[in-house]
């Protein structure tokens, strides 16, 4: 079982997330190796996020993981040193609503933490006129599932997937 905690010093549902994943080995010489897993940047709208996806794709830079995580939709990229950068958008439009959903929703703890998505499918749906909220609902319903699994390097992803 994973142990996780979310911390914040303002209205955002989390600024720092802590995870303990039993049995994970990132460095064989250090059985309890600690590192920064990723740095995140948040966009104001899904159009901003998907526009960045299209721009980066045009430069042959593709996300290593893409997911609707309930309160947000996120694309993860990896740099040459295997550092991750998360680009995300709040699915609820503002931090207060997202945080209240996390606190008050009886289904929040029962839902999957993330549903993997193919950003190309989501991009096409948005271009076709699907609303941001409907994108989120359809993603969680599995409509934008990737046709093949993401190829991510390292045991941290594999343990969390």
Segment 95-144, tens digit of pLDDT: 767 667 766 776 666 665 688 999 999 999 999 999 999 999 999 899 99
Per-residue exposure over 109-123, b if at least 16 CB sit within 10 Å of its own CB, e if not: eeeeebbbbbbbbbb
Does the pTM surpass 0.95? The reply is no
Pick from 24, 49, 77, 13: nearest CA to 139: 49
Token pair 């993981």 in the structure block, residue: 65
Beta bridge partners of 14: none
- Token pair of 47, please? 């159009």
Looking up residue 115, the CATH number of its domain turns out to be 3.10.180
Domain count within the chain: 1
Q: 6-21: per-residue pLDDT in tens? A: 676 666 656 666 666 5
Q: Could you tell me whether strands 84-90 and 72-78 are parallel, antiparallel, or unpaired per DSSP bridges? A: antiparallel
What local confidence, expressed as pLDDT, does residue 107 receive? 66
Task: Please give the pLDDT value at position 157.
Answer: 43
Q: Hey, what are 53's tokens?
A: 């996806």
Q: 57 lies in which domain range?
A: 3-160
């Amino acid at each position: 079982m994973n142990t996780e905690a979310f911390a914040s010093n303002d209205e955002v549902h989390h600024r720092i997330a802590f995870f303990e994943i039993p049995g994970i080995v990132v460095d064989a010489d250090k059985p309890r190796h600690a590192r920064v897993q990723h740095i995140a940047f948040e966009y104001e709208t899904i159009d901003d996020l998907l526009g960045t996806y299209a721009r980066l794709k045009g430069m042959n830079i593709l996300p290593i993981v893409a997911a609707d995580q309930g309160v947000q939709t996120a694309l993860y990229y990896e740099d040459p040193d295997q550092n991750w950068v998360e680009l995300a958008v709040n699915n609820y439009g503002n931090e207060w609503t997202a945080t209240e959903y996390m606190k008050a929703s009886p289904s929040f703890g029962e839902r999957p933490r993330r549903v993997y998505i193919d950003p190309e499918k989501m991009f096409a749906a948005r271009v076709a006129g699907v609303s941001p909220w409907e994108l989120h609902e359809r993603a969680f319903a599995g409509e934008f599932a990737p046709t093949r699994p993401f190829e991510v390097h390292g045991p941290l992803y594999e343990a969390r997937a």
